């Protein structure tokens, strides 16, 4: 395993590869650091292709060793072209990265798989998290597959579908009176008191690294080349930033050539602290979420500042998508591509449309849009589209009434 230590993003203090969530000196976020020379000598296109068809084919680029038994392994999800939508938008190419194909139908399975390996290494037998739904599903399923205990904390009032998709795996589910940010504060406090593996608290440095594998897969699936632009939703900012990091690592290791992609993020208007900071040039300021896009409703994003820096450094942007557009975007994306995403992909798609409207993308661009979660988890927003035409079981009556339409 090429990971050497954890390093603070702020003061650069270093720590052993243990379960520590933030820097003990300045409370800054921690990131794994790697032996790049070892990676250059051991990781190649051939070694990756020889690996399993899951995220563990990139184990040499992750902070934990691949588990001996890779049960319910996520990753290597489809990258599919969307030519009809590309033509409608005036893009050269548009690809959809379908992370809905992961075991619990969101990208969260990736980070949980990595964090769970570290939890096992540390002897932690209870997997836990704070979640807006998708992470709760992933933690519950991971624990069920591994035969461990799951305890998850979610804001009260979350979509019923996501609560069911957590409870079905046998997880203990706590509905917390408050926003996601209240839930997150609670679990951070509990992580100092309980001998549990909180994947997005003391295991966060490992959990976040799982998102890099989306970038690795995109590059491999495009023949070890980069798209010109990547679009992703922004909640905490970790997914968006890790996508950028993933492409940067491949480039620095000589595994992909050419220019790095521009990275574009999107937030819903009712919870847009990162988009507002990008637009204003001011630091990220916490907000109280008031959005239908609950999966990215994080008012105090832990990696918000890094997301802003990622957008600027890559030549991309972060957009704020009107609340009124979210439900129509779900249907529009589905009808143009056959892919039904939840609210986060609808917001991401809204960001893509804004970039096109502003002339930032065109026929020379090859764009990847991340479909981070499944629409079956949030059907309520598009339920008004259900308008069945009631008929009798009579073929002659049907043909007579519908002669102009058949």
Write the pLDDT tens digit of every residue in 256-291. 988 999 999 999 999 999 999 999 999 999 999 999
- By DSSP bridging, strand 317-321 and strand 229-233 are unpaired
Question: In angstroms, rounded to a whole number, what is the distance separating the alpha carbons of residues 311 and 315?
Answer: 6
E strand or H helix at 126: strand 126-130
pLDDT beyond 80 at 154? yes
Architecture of domain 3-67+108-207: 3-Layer(aba) Sandwich (3.40)
Q: Give the dihedral sign, CA 120/121/124/129.
A: negative
* Mean pLDDT, range 327-342, rounded to an integer: 98
Angle at which helix 238-252 crosses helix 212-221, to 10 degrees, equals 50
Fold agreement (3-67+108-207, 79-103+211-385) = yes
Tokens of 346: 């609808």
The residues, ordered by sequence, that sit 6+ positions from 251 with a Cβ below 8 Å of its Cβ are 226, 257, 260
Q: How far is CA 258 from CA 251, 252, 312, in A?
A: 8, 11, 19
pLDDT beyond 80 at 1? no
Domains of the chain by residue range = 3-67+108-207, 79-103+211-385
- By DSSP bridging, strand 172-176 and strand 14-15 are unpaired
- By DSSP bridging, strand 149-155 and strand 126-130 are parallel
CATH class of 79-103+211-385: alpha beta
- By DSSP bridging, strand 30-34 and strand 3-8 are antiparallel
pLDDT of residue 404: 79
Read off the pTM: 0.96
């Amino acid at each position: 395993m090429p990971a050497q230590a954890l390093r603070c993003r702020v003061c650069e203090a270093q720590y052993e590869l243990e379960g520590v969530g933030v820097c003990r000196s300045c409370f800054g976020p921690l990131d794994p650091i790697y032996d790049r020379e070892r990676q250059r000598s051991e990781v190649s296109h051939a070694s990756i292709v020889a690996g399993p068809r899951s995220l563990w084919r990139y184990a040499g680029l992750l902070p934990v060793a691949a588990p001996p038994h890779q049960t319910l392994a996520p990753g290597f999800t489809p990258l599919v072209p969307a030519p009809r939508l590309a033509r409608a938008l005036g893009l050269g190419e548009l690809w959809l990265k379908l992370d809905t194909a992961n075991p619990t139908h969101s990208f969260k399975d990736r980070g949980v798989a990595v964090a769970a390996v570290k939890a096992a290494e540390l002897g932690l037998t209870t997997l836990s998290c704070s979640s807006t739904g998708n992470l709760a599903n992933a933690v519950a399923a991971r624990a069920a597959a591994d035969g461990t205990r799951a305890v998850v904390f979610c804001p009260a009032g979350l979509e019923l579908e996501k609560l069911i998709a957590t409870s079905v795996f046998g997880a203990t589910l706590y509905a917390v009176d408050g926003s996601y940010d209240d839930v997150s504060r609670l679990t951070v406090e509990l992580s100092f008191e309980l001998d549990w593996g909180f994947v997005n608290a003391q295991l966060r440095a490992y959990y976040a690294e799982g998102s890099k594998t989306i970038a690795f897969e995109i590059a491999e699936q495009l023949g070890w080349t980069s798209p010109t632009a990547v679009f992703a939703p922004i909640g905490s900012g970790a997914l968006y930033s890790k996508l950028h990091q993933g492409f940067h690592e491949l480039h620095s290791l000589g595994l992909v050539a050419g220019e790095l992609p521009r990275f574009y993020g999107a937030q819903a208007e009712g919870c847009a602290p990162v988009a507002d900071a990008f637009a204003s040039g001011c630091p990220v300021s916490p907000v109280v979420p008031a959005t239908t896009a609950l999966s990215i409703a994080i008012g105090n994003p832990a990696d918000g500042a890094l997301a802003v820096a990622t957008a600027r450094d890559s030549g991309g942007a972060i957009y704020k998508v009107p609340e009124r557009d979210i439900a129509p975007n779900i249907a529009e994306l589905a009808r143009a591509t056959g892919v039904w995403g939840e609210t986060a992909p609808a917001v991401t798609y809204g960001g893509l449309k804004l970039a096109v409207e502003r002339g930032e993308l065109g026929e020379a661009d090859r764009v990847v849009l991340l479909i981070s979660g499944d629409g079956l988890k949030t059907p309520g927003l598009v339920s008004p589209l259900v308008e069945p035409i009631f008929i009798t079981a009579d073929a002659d009556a049907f043909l007579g009434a519908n002669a102009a339409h058949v």
